[in-house]
Amino acid sequence: MSFPSRDDLIDFIYDEARMLDEGRFSEWLELWMPEGIYWMPLDYKQTDPDCVTSLLYEDQFMLRLRVERLNGARTFSQKPKSRCHHVIQRPFVDVMDAEANRYVTNTSMHYVETRLDDQFLLAITATHELCVEGGKIRIANKRVDLLNSDAAFGNIQLLP
């Protein structure tokens, strides 16, 4: 594939959510471009990722660390493991620029994470910057805005 259709982009977002829900994290890492950043701002509508704290602002080194840690023998906060569940609304395709190889989608989701007797719900908006590389759609950057980013949370252990 060199020029994805609107449906290809939308299917990609659904597939990614399913991958996360099924815990296929190593496969999920393969979706990323090497320079890709996963950003979850702390401030509502935050613009500065560097000099203001974020919840997550992670490069591929950090994302790989997260995934490997989830499988570690001494990962105490993952005994037992967390599970997650995305319910997503049909993504908007906001940018479709084949010439620049840049595609942007905007997706509303309800994200549920659970472990032991606790379960919580986050209402989120995910913004994916996508591109095509090696005939496949890849994630160039992903931004996840929590509706209640200013609320106090307990552990959020997986990746919405």
Partner 1 sequence: MPAAKPAYTVDTVTDLVQPHQVHRDVYTDPDVFRLEMKHLFANAWVFVGHDSQTPNKGDYYTTQIGDQPVIQVRHTNGEICVLYNRCPHKGTKIAIDRTGNTGKFFRCPYHAWSFKTDGCLLAIPLKKGYEGTGLDKTENGQGMKAVGAVRNYRGFIFARLADEGISFEDYFGASLSSLDNMVDRSPAGRLEVAGPPLRYMHQCNWKMLVENQTDTCHPMVAHESSAGTAVKIFEDMDWPEDKPKPMAMEIIAPFMSPYEFFENMGIRTWPNGHGHTGVHHSIHSDYSAIPGYLEQMVEAYGEDKAKEILGENRHNTVYFPNIMIKGPIQQLRNFIPLGPDKTLVESYIYRLVDAPDQLLARTAMYNRLINAPTSMVGHDDLEMYERAQEGLAADGMEWVNVQRLYEEGEDFDHEAVENGTTERQMRNQFNAWVKFMSPQPATDKAEAAE
Instruction: Say how many CA atoms lie within 13 Å of 22 toward its Cβ.
Output: 10
Q: Does 62 bind partner 1 (CB under 8 A)?
A: yes
Q: Does 64 bind partner 1 (CB under 8 A)?
A: yes
CB of 37 to partner 1, least distance (A): 12
CB of 117 to partner 1, least distance (A): 12
> Which whole-number Å values give the CA distances from 86 to 18, 57, 65, 73, in the listed order?
8, 21, 23, 27
Is the CA virtual torsion 21, 108, 119, 40 positive or negative? positive
107 near 86, Cβ under 8 Å? no
CB of 128 to partner 1, least distance (A): 19
Task: Among 10, 13, 40, 140, indicate the residue that binds partner 1 (CB under 8 A).
Answer: 40
Considering only residues 94 to 153 of the shown chain, the ones binding partner 1 according to CB under 8 A are 150-153
